[in-house]
Amino acid sequence: MAEFFAMGGYAQFLWPSYALAILALVVNVIVARRHLAAARSEARRRLEVRAGDAE
Amino acid sequence: MDWTWFHKFGSPPHVYRLAGRLTPWFAWPAAITILIGLYGGLVLAPPDYQQGDGFRIIYVHAPSAWLSVMIYTTMASAAFVGLVWRMKVAHAVAASCAGIGAWFTAVSLVTGMLWGKPMWGTYWVWDPRLTAQLILLFLFFGYMALRAAIDDPSRADRASALLAVVGIVNVPIIRFSVDWWNSIHQAPSVMKLGRPTMPVDMLVPLLLMLLGFTLYFVAVLTIRLRAEVLRRERQASWLREVLD
């Protein structure tokens, strides 16, 4: 196991590379979902304003 | 010829629903493919005869670099369609690409630096391939900054689309930089004519990672596209429908 993590002496270069790539994969999903949630609540607000105008 | 499919792709409610339905069909295969690819790349693939275990950085570096160029090409193509046919949904696709593209361009640059240090002895050189990739990052940033700077949405769409289309000249420069100039960057080992120069147990994890990252991009794009389509929509009738 220790040998695996040592990566033949390249650990200090290899693991940060993998960590960054995985971070990018995770962050982009979170950001996209937040954008969608924000767009939905903003659209809902727009609808409510319009419904209020109609009355 | 039946053009209804084309009009459907221009219709925001249709695109919104279609994108929502597509997300899981790309997200799950992406997750599975990437996990298998990671296991193959880190555990099953043999060490390289020159670079030892250091070469394994390729399994995150090459897919990120591929994705960065693929996303830019998607963005510029969508921007072009938006400019020529004045299709709102195409502009929404282009706008959805930029943030994701910037991320993976940055990942390709940083993982490349981390690979360059042990192999070339330096984090950075002003090499044609590396410089063109850095310009790609600035193109994504420029696109996003331009959009953010213009308040009127349709003017922002058109101005940023023009930038995206003009910037496409950088894509062949990235692709062929290692052939045209004497680059420090190694030549492609997968995407070239004839057979790849990699043994199969190294190659298969790489192909899985390339496929997985591509599926991942489509999955994230469908989520961002829904957000973009919603933000642009002023018509109440279908908004009410999809929000309930």
Contact A28 B220 (CB under 8 A): yes
Between CA B214 and CA A9 the distance in angstroms is: 31
Q: A13 to chain B nearest CA, in Å?
A: 5
Q: Are B174 and B136 in contact (CB under 8 A)?
A: yes
Facing residue for B52 by CB, picked from A10, A21, A40: A10
Q: Which of A13, A29, A35 sits opposite B57 (nearest CB)?
A: A13
**Are B224 and A29 inside 8 Å of each other by CB?**
no
Distances (CA, A) of A30 to A37, B25, B43, B83: 11, 18, 29, 30
pTM over 0.90: yes
CA A49 centroid distance within chain: 30
pLDDT tens, per residue, chain B with 244 residues = 566 666 666 788 889 999 999 999 999 999 999 999 999 999 999 999 889 999 999 999 999 999 999 999 999 999 999 999 999 999 999 999 999 999 999 999 999 999 999 999 999 999 999 999 999 999 999 999 999 999 999 999 999 999 999 999 999 999 888 888 877 788 777 655 566 678 889 999 999 999 999 999 999 999 999 999 999 887 767 888 787 6
Q: How far is A30 from chain B (nearest CA, A)?
A: 9
Chain A residues within an 8 Å CB radius of B209: none
